[in-house]
Amino acid sequence: MPAEQLTVQDLSESELLARIFPRLNHSPGILLGPGDDAALVAAPDGRSLISIDTQTQDQDFRLEWNNGYRTTGYDVGWKAAAQNLSDINAMGGSATSLVVSLTMPPDTPVVWVEAFADGLTAAIVGLGAPDCSVAGGDLGRGRELSVTVAVVGSLGGLPPVLRSGAKPGDVVAIAGTLGRAAAGWALLESRHPMQSLDTELQALVENQCRPQPPLAAGPLAARGGATAMMDISDGLLRDGGRLASASNVTLNLDPVALEIHAMPLEPAALLLGCEALPWVLGGGEDHGLLATFPAGIQLPAGFTAIGSVEAVVEPPGRGVRIAGQAVDTVGWDHFAD
């Protein structure tokens, strides 16, 4: 049978793993990698950051979109790595290892699985996590594709940057982009064929399928005095509200700064007949960083100011405001209708 026609049911688990392992990168922090019952990873800091995330077919991604785009194994592997690397970044740390569980239907093409492994490695290397690699994982059979990744990271001797440290008077800043992945999702769900989109609009689709979290920014923020920080995975307003609640403060955002982030999205909004600003406020899968810094200090490279931290005047005053005005919280909720 030609290799491109093989499905996972045509191979044993060992044969499939033999096609995956050579595609994974190897970092020195993995003392014992795939092949035993558990991996052995170094923890030179004496502490480890740990996080976990799951992508499920037709919930977090589609194999075929309304505009004709087909999600590749490479896309899913890249995104699985990126969103987990970002969680470590948001604590001010650097990822050191991933453990990956892949559940798939028996008719999944073997080339899709190989591309998935390539996407994992490409994201780790391309996004700038040189000390990280896949330490092991699991393969399983199911009715739909599902990917769960657990990530371990190091703080490099620094204290973690929590959500709960923002103080009145701090500057609110972001690193990375806002709204691009949400605009990409809207284009994928539209009826505008992928091939009809210009390069600028196709780049927004790529931001949804292959996020670009700013991995250098987290450790820089930790060293640069960040008082609080988190990954923007569910939208600026929703995640900003979480940071504000944890710190018992109000985040007051600058509408001019938000409009600057909306401007590159205007061509997509014009094509789809909508407004760009809601993508900036409610789109989260760019996996940028939301952070607060003491007033008067120079923001680390990659961060731009978008507002200020204020004391809670009256309950329930915690949350996010724009130019001092309360706004409805928008963003991703796994269990919303």
Token pair for 45 = 């800091």
Q: Is 131 known to sit in a ligand binding site?
A: no
**What is d(CA 139, CA 125) in angstroms, rounded to the nearest whole number?**
23
| 321 labeled part of a ligand binding site | no
The upper half-sphere exposure of residue 269, i.e. CA atoms within 13 Å in the direction of its Cβ, equals: 15
259 in a labelled binding site? no
170 is an annotated ligand-binding site residue: no
Find out whether 198 is annotated in a ligand binding site: no
Residue with tokens 């450790």: 219
Q: Where do runs of H (alpha helix) occur along 168-321?
A: 180-189, 199-209, 217-223, 236-247, 255-262, 266-272, 277-282
Nearest to 279 by CA among 321, 229, 237: 237
- Give the strand order in the sheet containing 49-56: 49-56, 146-154, 94-104, 133-141
Is 60 marked as a binding-site residue?
Answer: yes
Going by C-alpha positions, the residue among 82, 90, 93 that lies closest to residue 60 is 82
Residue 204's Cβ-side half-sphere holds a number of Cα atoms within 13 Å equal to: 27
Is 286 annotated for ligand binding? no
Q: Which residues contact 51 (CB under 8 A, 6 or more apart)?
A: 84, 87, 88, 150, 151, 153
Residue 78 in marked binding region? no
Contacts of 81 (CB under 8 A, 6+ apart): 98, 119, 120, 123, 124, 127, 149
Structure token digits, residue 211:
């996020």
138 is in an annotated binding site: yes
Q: Residue 268: which of 190, 332, 174, 195 has the closest Cα?
A: 190
Q: What residue numbers does the annotated binding site for Mg(2+) cover?
A: 37, 51, 53, 87, 138, 231, 234
Annotation: binding site for substrate = 60, 285, 332
**Would you list which residues are annotated within the binding site?**
37, 51, 53, 60, 87, 137-138, 163, 231, 233-234, 285, 332
Per the annotation, binding residues for ATP are 137-138, 163, 233
